Amino acid sequence: MRTRSLAVSGMATLVAVLAGTGAALHAPSISGKVTIQERPGEVTEDIQNVVVFLEALGAPASKAPKLNPTNTTVALQSRQFSPRVRVITEGSKVEFANQDPFSHNVFSKTNGGFDTGVYGRGKTKDQTFKEAGVYPIYCNVHPRMTAFIIALSTPLYTQAGNDGRFMLEGVPPGQYRLSVWHDRTTISTQDVTVGAAGLSNLRVQLDARGYKYVQHKNKVGKDYTSATGDRY
């Protein structure tokens, strides 16, 4: 996967401090913490949407984990996608389950795009994401509904916890590109070498001060109107 295809908006700076190494009890692991720099007076409330992943540089490690499908579900509930960020491996299927008492229409314009059409309560539509990349996902009925499917060509990924901490376990020793993604910043990368003891205390700082919300268009590229969209 080309790293540049994951950039969305804003600015980001990666500060990776190898402050120590952790003795691996089994397979090596990588751990650290992500913070997001906000505008003065603002507090980060979506740190759990940070995605951290590793891609091998050069030939993959002999004990590299296989890239298996990670089929999953995203719920459409209370005019929201839940979860807002879902990470899968490329080639995996995502089911979009409508749990609201009204209709939705899920679509994306990335990598050829897809359109589920309108479907009602209790119905499910699915989409297979064959190519790696970031897929912004929208609803053609509700303009504020936004989600992201992150399809990766590596099985070595995780998301940050509510405190910004992350851990990747079972990482074979080798050289990797460590990437950190969040939808309000651009992707940040750092090349790292993972030894038998792994890496710990990585520090990653992202910068969202330049982020500006821009209302997306509907599936035909036009502004939402009262006739085509629910304005809440």
In a domain, 164, yes or no: yes
124: domain CATH number is 2.60.40.420
pLDDT the model gives residue 62: 60
Share of the chain above pLDDT 90, in %: 80
Domain with residue 180: its CATH number is 2.60.40.1120
- Let me know if residue 226 belongs to a domain: no
Q: Which 3 state secondary structure label does DSSP give 48?
A: helix
Q: Is 81 inside a domain boundary?
A: yes
CA-based Rg of the chain, rounded to a whole angstrom? 19
Q: Which of these, 214, 203, 215, lies nearest to 37 by C-alpha position?
A: 203
Regarding whether 33 and 139 lie in a shared domain, the answer is no
Q: What is the pLDDT of residue 58?
A: 80
pLDDT in tens, 138-163: 999 999 999 999 999 999 999 999 99
- The pLDDT tens digits for 185-202 are 999 999 999 999 999 999
Residues 147 and 76 in one domain: yes
Query: Is pLDDT above 80 for 168?
Result: yes
Domain total of the chain: 2
Residue 11 CA: distances (Å) to CA of 145, 158, 189: 23, 22, 13
Residue 175: what pLDDT? 94
**Domain interval for residue 49:** 3-59+155-207
Judgement on whether residues 52 and 115 belong to the same structural domain of the protein: no
CA 97 – CA 107 distance, rounded (Å): 14
Residue 189 inside a domain? The answer is: yes
Q: Which tokens go with 196? A: 């038998």
Residues 146 and 164 in one domain: no
Average pLDDT, the chain: 88
Question: Do 77 and 145 belong together in one domain?
Answer: yes
Q: What is the pLDDT of residues 44-96, one digit of tens each?
A: 999 999 999 999 998 665 667 789 999 999 999 999 999 999 999 999 999 99
User: For residue 225, is it within any domain?
Assistant: no
Would 190 be classed as within a structural domain?
A: yes
Residue 76 shares a structural domain with residue 146: yes
Residue 27 banded pLDDT, cuts 50, 70, 90: confident
**In which band, very low, low, confident or very high, does the pLDDT at 10 lie, cut at 50, 70 and 90?**
very low
